[in-house]
Amino acid sequence: MQSAEDNRTAIGVVRKPHGVRGGLKVTLYSIDLDTLQNLEQLFVNTGNNWKQLTLRSCQGYADFAILAFNEIKDRTEADAYRDLELFASQAALPELEDGKFCLDDLIGCEVVDENQTSLGKVVEVLTPAAHEVLVIKQGETELLVPLVDEWVVAVDITAGRIQINTAEEI
């Protein structure tokens, strides 16, 4: 989700083209619409290289946004961006309040249960429609944990540690 060498943070994923003028329907991660509207440049990794996009317009809805970029002129061009993540420069994003974090910050954190037993490290954060899901790996074992208050008790980004409730406790 984050490209350390480019200092970029993933802000959303393109779901599909929208309209005939090259709009993109985007599921946003943990960025609000006001912050997004103040960004001029976004980036997409096409697999071979980074492409810079200039935000032309932004409309927000309950669970998605419609974004238009100067570089994407029609639906055919927009279709090439389907399922790709959009990134913003970390320098362009506002500082987070205490206790807040970006999803990228969770990657690499150790996950422990209520007895402080290590369950592994976060290797990925999935973003299905309902809520984010932590992918935790320890050796060959993979555990999926919803990023919701009932499961996640505490997140300490500075210490790189996340405490969760186990299924028996919920």
pLDDT of 170: 40
Mean pLDDT confidence for 25-37? 84
Q: State the distance between the two ends of the chain, measured CA to CA, in whole angstroms.
A: 29
Query: How many other C-beta atoms can be found within 10 angstroms of the C-beta atom of residue 21?
Result: 14
Superfamily of domain 2-92: RimM (2.40.30.60)
- So what CATH class is 103-169? mainly beta
pLDDT in tens, 90-147: 777 777 666 667 777 788 999 999 889 999 999 988 877 677 889 999 999 999 998 8
- Please report the pLDDT score of residue 96 as a whole number: 66
Residues in the chain: 170
pLDDT value at residue 3: 41
Higher pLDDT, 54 or 30: 54
**In this structure, which amino acid lies at residue 59?**
Q
The token duo for 4 is 């350390």
- What residues does each domain of the chain span? 2-92, 103-169
pLDDT at 97: 67
